[in-house]
Structure 1
Amino acid sequence: MKKIKLTLFTLLSLSIFLQSCVDDLDVTPEGETQLSVEEFYAQPGAYKQALAGVYGNLSLTGTSGAESSNIGGIDAGTSQYGRVLWYLQNLSTDEVIWSYENDPGTREIQRNIWSATNPIIRGMFSRSTYQIALVNEYLRQTSPSVLSGRGVTDTNLLNDIELYRKEARVLRALAYYHLMDLYGKAPFVTEDDAIGTAGPEYNREQLFSYIESELNELLPDLKNPRTNEYGRLDKAFANMILAKIYLNAEVYIGQSKYQECMNVCSEIISSGYTLNSNYLNNFKADNHTSPEMIFSLQSNGEVTQNYGPTTVIINGQVGSIEANGSQFGVGGWGGALRLRKQFVQKFDGSEFSSDVRKTIISGSRDIEITDIANRDQGYVLGKFSNISSTGVAGISTTFVETDFPLFRYADVLLMYAEAQIRKDGTANNTSLGYINSLRTRANNGSTLNNISLSSLTLDFILDERSRELHWEAHRRQDLIRFNKYTGGSYNWAWKGNGVNGIALSNHLKVYPIPEAALASNPNLTQNTGY
């Protein structure tokens, strides 16, 4: 099968709703039929189904279809894990702009004028902390003492459950990583705390230490890369999180961890992943078959319908002038997404004339966006598609089949090269080889536009990351690491609410803690500047 079956575990939702005092989650149980805990776990396959519910929280928002949400107070799409992650990491940068600014929260995010009441900021915080709550409850329900009390003695099942528990803990580490990166702090709660505990505030140093130690403890017992079923994590997934925190360690904890980043990247590089010979096949309806997909957020036009990142991206990239939805297998949303000029200019020059990553559609359009509501201004993109590599369109023209590439092998090569340059002060031939493998793939096997060792600089890496990874939820983090996000050394259209961009205050390197979270947990404090 293409994907594991994702179902939000309503039993966990109900348990948290009835017993939790964490009001900022505002968790709402859905569905009329509820099993008791013991009734549920007495069913065959229940422990794996419950794990699928934890994974499901990365893609689904509720149990009654794409419009439903188990987090109250905000739109279902505004609390979808991948979508709000994409908004916060991409919409706030130089890569993309959203036309419909009456959609709650989008205007403030893309103009960098957000506050602690922004629903998108709340959606990401709530969905991440809800993920942690789901994991904690799963670990409570699968502890050795609880399993013993239920009479679970089958050795094979016990071994499976032990692996499930480790995967759940890695998913919890992922949620803490996103909270650390986006908000700089988080309430810290584990399965050892009672349900409803208002956890203490952990800062970046504490979260960094926890994530690092937790993943290093779990890594030896996870499945080897590419040996788990699609949709479940493995050692490469855990190493990707480690690579990310090590690459950004100077931002997070004021220490360089570049050698550590290189080490874990090298482990992934030796794990059997390869670049897809066709770059664009990483973003089509059957991208689960790509040899460079380390982990993706699942989407399915029939059984995993959601208003997640790929549904938004593919429908959104359909141009208002072009009306080219059939090109991507969707109906389209009339020019919802367009490109800011500064991203388009990353592909200026003859060296990019045959670069397959340049899916920019200009036509008769003006590159400038002087009026965000004018959907005919600004170029559009054609990177993602709801049509497979063999030309088969997805079952739905709204909800796409295309999974969102959360972790992709190309990023590993870029991270290794950047970490090596930062560590040594200059690029070496290994890094050059990795970067040129991306350039060769981008030019259909031609090496004519490969670069020389002297051209491989940090500035080049930043631009190449955007050319390779645009719209994949990396850009804000990259710009912050390169000191290009705040301040005025690099401006882009509508940065800071100026049509040509203005300098941003340094406090915008982290998002505010949502007001609802502050109200429900007295241990939390607001970030400086908000």
Structure 2
Amino acid sequence: MKQYIIGSMLLSSILLASCSLDETPRSKFSEKEAFSTSKLVYVNTVANVYSSIGNGLYGSDGGSVHTFQEFSSDASMIPGRQGDWVDGGAWQNIFLHNFESSVSKYNDVWNNLYRVIGLANSSIDRLNKYLGEHPEYAGYVYELRALRAVYYYYVMDLFGQVPLVVSSEVSANEVNQSNRSDVFKFVTSELAECIPHLSDSKSQNEGEYYGRITKAVAYMCMAKCAINAPVYTIDDTNPTSYSAFVGTDKSGKATASEEQGKTVSEMGKNINITLDGETRNAWETAVYCADQIASLGYRLQPSYADNFIVANQNSVENIWTRPNDCVNYKIDDYNIVRTLHYNHGGAIGYQGWNGACSSKQQMLVYGYGTANPDPRLKLNFYTDKDYMEETGKAVEDGATGKDLEYMPLAVKVDFTATDDPHAMKCSGARMKKYEFDKSTTQQFSFNNDLVIWRYADALLLKAEAEYRMGNKAEALTIVNEVRGRVAATPRTELTLNDILDERMLELAWEGVRRQDQIRFCTFTEPTADRFKGVTHNASAGDYNDDTQGYTMVYPIPYAVLNLNKKLHQNPGYTKENLNFI
């Protein structure tokens, strides 16, 4: 299973592992040897970069892109459970928007992203030296440039203004900071130039391009850039640069405003992107990219759950996944064990850390506790005692001797010694999205490929873009197509907030929520879970009611600023609110 790319990645890892820390692969193998066959060229350039991705996008215990997209949003949280999971206030501070650049998680995600960028630069430079004699290597160069663009998309999204390094001859510690709008232009122009040269193959299927950047993956990244263009084209010059995206709903419902939505929609109409020989505005580009992905053969998988089963490499919906194989190419995924109650995990042969869970806000959107909850609630979350479908019997809560029962609406930021111990152990709906792999003996590694992007996301981006262009009937049709797959009741009308809700219902736990909230102007709004004066651990700060918008980008990690004195901190962050040590 999954032999082609995993075998190449494994070989690449072995070659790298044979070197000491102060050596490079080149010091063990001459350049001539490393490029003596087409397979070795692939292994020493392309596969070398892919094998470094690991769980930096999804699955790590702290410094992954997924962590920073989910746990700062209104959807997911890691509450303090009478001291458990407090971790110096780190998780509560992320959820309450007290971003601390001295905490290692920020440095980890920065380093994970720039490590892949650096390896891509090195491989591109090496390949370019041989293009004169070997023009057949050009395809590898375009693929690596596209992969590098995807990673700059992530860096730009999280940190805004960042150093733009495109050569292995230049260190990231020596480069000036680029404006966010310049990074956006770089990413979109690189993708536009590379797409015609990328393979039409399906990246999610086993074969030569399994897990690699193909046309569909690049179109999806371009769609993401286009839909977020009103945010990405703003230069972060002062703490109020993103004030247009500061929400106005202080009721705790975090509702997307149609009035603010009109402003964002007008912004997108005035941003142009050139792709495949034609210039379109941001919304037209998002629609075009979704249509191109469909033309490459992607569609909704008939079964929602099949996108996340152990053998999900056969999905017709997943656009880009991280191939995972417990034997040949193992990627640790802490998200599953981190969410399960100790005794739930133990009953099915896994660990359970009783940490991450859904917020109350998300459960309210899903309609938990109502007569007609969204059908995707059962597909995405464990609630009440439905874990017994796997365990066959009830397990204890680990505190009172009562049966474990997940309590979605009992969750809160921090539980103290005076709180009900049963609620403390059981609070919060838990992630259920990925099928449990009963074949693995690993605690943190499974054979399910990790889903990064899928076609349902592309469809909902298209629906949003159509809505923002005034085509509400078309947007409604698309949203109901996605809802129809799970037999959800069709919507009869549509608002911006409905689209935002639909993205939560469909894409829960897939690392898109923070980005969506910023674009829909709800990221800075209080919710049922977080508000000024909310109970929190003494090691964390109160909810940061950001009325300026500076928290829409994360602070540059303190360690990075120390290494490169040409960089400056993102506006709005001060020594005091960053808790410098």
Q: 2:104, 2:532 → 1: CA distance?
A: 19
Tell me how far apart the structure 2 counterparts of residues 372 and 476 of structure 1 sit (CA, whole Å).
Answer: 21
Unaligned runs of 5+ in 2: 80-84, 235-266, 269-281, 386-404, 416-423, 537-542, 574-581
Q: 2:285 aligns with which of 252, 260, 272?
A: 260
Q: CA deviation at 1:397?
A: 4.0
1:400 equivalenced with 2:446 (yes/no): yes
Relative distance call for 1:195 and 1:180 in structure 2 (3 A) is closer
Alignment of 1:240-279 (within 5 A): 240-254=220-234, 255-256=267-268, 257-279=282-304
Are residues 289 and 380 of structure 1, via their aligned partners in 2, closer, same or farther at CA, if it must alter by over 3 Å?
A: same
**Aligned match for 1:108, one of 76, 87, 93:** 93
The answer (yes or no) to whether the contact 1:176–1:211 under 8 Å persists in 2 is: yes
CA drift of 1:184 comes to 0.4
Kindly state the Cα deviation for residue 375 of structure 1 after the two structures are TM-superposed: 3.4
- Structure 1 counterpart of 2:427, from 377, 390, 406: 377
Q: 1:142 aligns with which of 118, 124, 127?
A: 127
For residues 460 and 209 of structure 1, what CA distance do their matches in structure 2 show? 31
Aligned counterparts of 2:14 and 2:570: Cα–Cα separation in 1 = 33
Q: Distance in 2 between matches of 1:315 and 1:196?
A: 35
Which residue of 34, 48, 52 corresponds with 2:47? Answer: 52
Aligned equivalents of 1:337 and 1:359: distance in 2? 12
Superposed CA offset, 1:479-520 (max 9, x none): 11111111x3x4242467834966335211100111121122
1:229 offset after TM fit, Å?
A: 2.3
Q: Is residue 301–residue 398 contact of structure 1 (8 Å, CA) maintained in 2?
A: no
Indicate the RMSD between aligned Cα atoms, in angstroms.
3.1
1:420 CA displacement: 0.9
Q: How many Å separate the matches in 2 of 1:103 and 1:288?
A: 39
Q: How many Å apart are 1:110 and its aligned residue?
A: 2.9
CA contact (8 A) 1:104 1:119 kept: no
What whole-Å deviation, never above 9, does each CA across 1:324-352 have from its counterpart, x for those lacking one? 762xxx50323222221111111114343
Work out whether residues 86 and 92 of structure 2, in 8 Å CA contact, stay in contact via their aligned partners in 1: yes
Partner of 1:66: none
Q: Give the equivalent residue in structure 1 for 2:371.
A: 350
Is the Cα–Cα contact under 8 Å of residues 380 and 508 in structure 2 kept in the other structure? no
1:427 corresponds to which residue? Answer: 472
TM-score by length of 1: 0.81
1:467 counterpart SS class: helix
Q: Of the candidates 136, 146, 151, which is equivalent to residue 170 of structure 1?
A: 146
Q: Deviations over 1:255-292 (max 9, x none)?
A: 41212211212211222111111111111221111110
Partner of 2:496 in structure 1?
458
Query: 1:209 and 1:140 mapped to 2: Cα distance?
Result: 22
Distance 2:461 2:210 in 1: 24
Is 1:368 the equivalent of 2:418? Answer: no
**3-state SS of the aligned residue for 1:405?**
strand
Pair 1:12–1:422, CA change in 2 (3 A): farther
Matched residue of 1:142: which SS? helix
Aligned to 2:357: 338
Aligned match of 2:114: 129
Structure 1 partner of 2:260: none
Q: Which amino acid aligns with 1:435?
A: V
> Hey, what does 2:463 align to over in structure 1?
417
Alpha-carbon distance in 2 for matches of 1:58, 1:246: 24
Does structure 2 conserve the Cα–Cα contact (< 8 Å) formed by 1:297 and 1:403? yes
Give the AA of the match of 1:437. Answer: E
Cα distance in 2, alignment partners of residues 301 and 103 from structure 1:
33
Partners of 2:325 and 2:94 lie apart in 1 by: 28
Deviates more, 1:46-55 or 1:365-374: 365-374
Q: Secondary structure of the residue that 2:430 maps to in structure 1?
A: coil
- SS in structure 1 opposite 2:305? helix
CA deviations 1:291-338 (Å, max 9, x no partner) are: 10100123222222233xxx2222223234644762xxx503232222
Superposed counterparts of 1:10-409, under 5 Å: 34-42=28-36, 45-50=39-44, 51-59=46-54, 77-79=61-63, 84-98=64-78, 100-102=85-87, 105-143=90-128, 145-146=129-130, 158-159=135-136, 161-191=137-167, 193-194=169-170, 198-226=174-202, 229-254=209-234, 255-256=267-268, 257-307=282-332, 311-320=333-342, 322-323=344-345, 326=348, 331-348=350-367, 349-352=370-373, 354-355=375-376, 357=379, 359-363=381-385, 364-366=405-407, 367-370=409-412, 372=414, 374-387=424-437, 393-394=439-440, 396-409=442-455
CA distance in 2, matches of 1:288, 1:103: 39
Question: Would the alpha carbon gap of residues 495 and 146 (structure 1) be closer, same or farther in structure 2, given more than 3 Å must change?
Answer: farther
Contact 2:413/2:529, CA 8 A, preserved across alignment = no
Aligned structure 1 segments of 4 or more residues deviating by more than 6 angstroms: 10-17
Shift of 1:87: 0.6
CA offsets, 1:200-235, max 9 Å, x none?
Answer: 211111011111111111111111152762211211
Q: Which position in structure 2 is the counterpart of 1:69?
A: none
TM-score (norm 2): 0.74
**Percent of aligned positions that are identical:** 25
Give the corresponding residue for 1:21. none
Give me the whole-angstrom Cα distance separating, in 1, the residues matched to 2:286 and 2:211. 25
Q: How many pairs are equivalent?
A: 474
Deviations 1:441-496 (A, max 9, x none): 112xxxx61112xx22110010110110011010000011111111x3x4242467
Deviation, 1:103, is: 8.0
- Give me the whole-angstrom Cα distance separating, in 1, the residues matched to 2:90 and 2:140: 36
Q: Give the structure 2 partner of residue 475 of structure 1.
A: 513
2:545 maps to a residue whose letter is A
Query: Judging changes above 3 Å, is the alpha-carbon distance between structure 1 residues 196 and 187 closer, same or farther for their aligned structure 2 residues?
Result: closer
Q: Secondary structure at the match of 1:399?
A: coil
**Measured at CA, do residues 415 and 147 of structure 1 come closer, stay the same or move farther in structure 2, by a change above 3 Å?**
closer
Contact 1:491 1:502 in 2 (8 A): no
Structure 1 gaps of 5+ residues are: 19-28, 62-74
